[in-house]
């Protein structure tokens, strides 16, 4: 049965890969992102392949705008089967005592509060219908801090706690809750972290074959399509030569 899948942060990286993979699966999509122009290009690409989709241009940090968009979904789009809370970012690698206050706020407001906002707006409908699936994109960084990761690692540790807590909250329903924890994935993630410093971003992937957004999207689609009695609660996905958030063997 085809599903209605809402993906946040769908304009690049893991979010865009998820959009393409769920589209290949025959699902219909609600894609959110901050850049309306990029969303329009993605809509054109996927509708040309026969995918039904809507695009909503807003920042998950803007709770009022998020609520307005979700509340005003057309009736035939209101029953969201899968919520992929993907929107997130890392900024900087400074020691905690030298961190940038604005960077901290952006990470906390996006990675934690944005995820909470979308969960709060979408999951009540799932509870009412007694079906649905929430897939939160966490990180290996949520398992243990690494040098310079401090606040970003804390936000992804929060994603794990919030995912586990939600799974407990909906255990009396047929709703499933998944935490995907990628390791080193080559997307624009590092370009954002280093604020456009492409050389610095490239160095992160030197000497190792990193994961791709498609690798993570494959797991998301699998989890969403597992038999109804199977809940893929948590998946840690690492490159072959990565052992943890801080142990990477480069050759």
DSSP3 helix / strand / coil % (the chain, rounded to 5): 45, 15, 40
What region, left, alpha or beta, does residue 124 occupy, with left being phi > 0 and alpha being psi -120 to 50 degrees? alpha
If pLDDT is split at 50, 70 and 90, which confidence band does 192 have? confident
Q: What pLDDT, on a 0 to 100 scale, did the predictor assign at position 90? A: 96
Is the pLDDT assigned to residue 17 strictly greater than 90?
Answer: yes
Question: Residue 92 and residue 182: Cα distance in Å, rounded?
Answer: 19
What pTM, to 2 d.p., does this model score? 0.95
Helix (H, G, I), strand (E, B) or coil at 213: helix
What's the pLDDT band for 169 if we cut at 50, 70, 90? very high
Average model confidence (pLDDT) across the chain? 96
Average pLDDT for 201-216: 91
pLDDT confidence tier of residue 98, bands split at 50, 70 and 90: very high
Rounded percentage of the chain residues whose pLDDT exceeds 90: 90
Q: How confident is the model at residue 113 (pLDDT cuts 50, 70, 90)?
A: very high
Which residues make Cβ contacts (< 8 Å) with residue 110, sequence separation at least 6?
60, 61, 87, 88, 89
Q: What are residue 100's phi and psi, to 5 degrees?
A: -95, 125
Catalytic position from the list 97, 152, 205, 222: 152
201 has a pLDDT exceeding 80: no
Q: Clarify whether 152 is annotated catalytic.
A: yes
**Predicted confidence (pLDDT) at residue 194 exceeds the cutoff of 80:** no
Instruction: Please give the pLDDT value at position 167.
Output: 98
| Mean pLDDT score, 87-101 | 96
The two structure tokens encoding residue 148: 């310079």
- Report DSSP letters for 95-142, one per residue: -GGG--HHHHHHHIIIIIIIHHHHHHHHHHHHHHHT--EEEEE--GGG
């Amino acid at each position: 049965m085809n599903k209605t899948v809402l993906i946040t942060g769908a304009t690049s990286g893991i979010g865009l890969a998820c959009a393409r993979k769920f589209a290949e699966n025959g699902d219909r999509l609600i894609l959110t992102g901050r850049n309306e122009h990029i969303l329009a290009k993605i809509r054109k690409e996927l509708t040309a392949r026969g995918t039904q989709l809507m695009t909503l241009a807003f920042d998950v940090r803007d709770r009022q705008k998020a609520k307005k968009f979700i509340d005003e979904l057309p009736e035939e789009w209101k029953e969201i089967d899968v919520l992929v809370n993907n929107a997130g970012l890392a900024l900087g690698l400074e020691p905690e005592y030298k961190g940038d206050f604005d960077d901290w706020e952006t990470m906390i407001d996006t990675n934690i509060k944005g995820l909470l906002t979308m969960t709060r707006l979408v999951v009540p409908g799932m509870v009412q219908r007694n079906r649905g699936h929430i897939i939160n994109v966490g990180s290996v960084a949520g398992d243990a801090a690494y040098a310079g990761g401090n606040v970003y690692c804390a936000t992804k540790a929060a994603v794990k706690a919030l995912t586990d807590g939600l799974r407990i909250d909906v255990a009396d329903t047929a709703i499933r809750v998944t935490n995907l924890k990628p390791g080193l994935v080559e997307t624009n993630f590092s370009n954002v972290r280093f604020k456009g410093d492409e050389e610095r971003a490239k160095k992160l992937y030197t000497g190792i074959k990193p994961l791709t957004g498609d690798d993570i999207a494959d797991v998301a689609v699998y989890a969403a399509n597992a038999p109804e009695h199977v809940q893929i609660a948590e998946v840690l996905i690492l490159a072959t030569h990565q052992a943890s958030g801080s142990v990477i063997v480069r050759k």
